Amino acid sequence: MSEERGKRLSDTGGFTSRDAGPATGATPDDSSAVARPSGKRVARGSSDGGRVSVVKDSDQAGSRRARSAVATGERSGDKPENFFKRLRRYFREVIAELRKVIWPNRKQLTTYTIVVVVFVAVMTAFIFGLDLAFVQGVSWLFG
């Protein structure tokens, strides 16, 4: 039985279906990855054919810092941008986001406005009624 298994492992390059195969970026001699997982699998974009690679814990911390630096616009060695350049970029991004908004047409806007006005009127009447009831109750109690 062990001879068959050894033969199967040698035919597949030392990988079983549970192991991380060559398509995942793991090396065949990396037997410690099978015994003790050291990271999580991360799906990559379509540029590498949809492969999944194993990311080690030390790599995760470094990549998190790199991603946060890129997300905030900070790069090592770069000077911070000018205030006016940042302001201009901010307004360009705001305009780009506003173009993505689905704006209501006139009929929807009228309907939404009527709903809001009616809701505010009902809530105003309700609070006015509660206030009137409390005033009557306090004047009756302390008379």
Q: What are the angstrom distances between the C-alpha of 92 and each of 81, 82, 87, 98?
A: 15, 15, 9, 10
| Mean pLDDT confidence for 59-75 | 55
What pLDDT is attached to residue 133?
Answer: 96
**How many whole angstroms separate alpha carbon 17 and alpha carbon 143?**
86
In 3D, which of 26, 30, 54 has the Cα closest to residue 42? 54
CB-based contact 5:15 (threshold 8 Å): no
**How many whole angstroms separate alpha carbon 134 and alpha carbon 128?**
10
Contacts of 127 (CB under 8 A, 6+ apart): none
Who has greater pLDDT, 52 or 135? 135
**How many whole angstroms separate alpha carbon 91 and alpha carbon 85?**
10
| Mean pLDDT confidence for 89-106 | 95
| Chain centre distance of CA 122 | 39
| Mean pLDDT confidence for 44-49 | 53
Q: Is 72 helix (H, G, I), strand (E, B) or coil?
A: helix
Q: What is the pTM of this model?
A: 0.37
**How many whole angstroms separate alpha carbon 105 and alpha carbon 48?**
44
What pLDDT is attached to residue 66?
Answer: 54
Q: pLDDT at residue 47 above 80? A: no
| Chain centre distance of CA 112 | 31
Question: What band does 24 get if pLDDT is binned at 50, 70 and 90?
Answer: low
What pLDDT is attached to residue 124?
Answer: 98
Question: What band does 80 get if pLDDT is binned at 50, 70 and 90?
Answer: confident
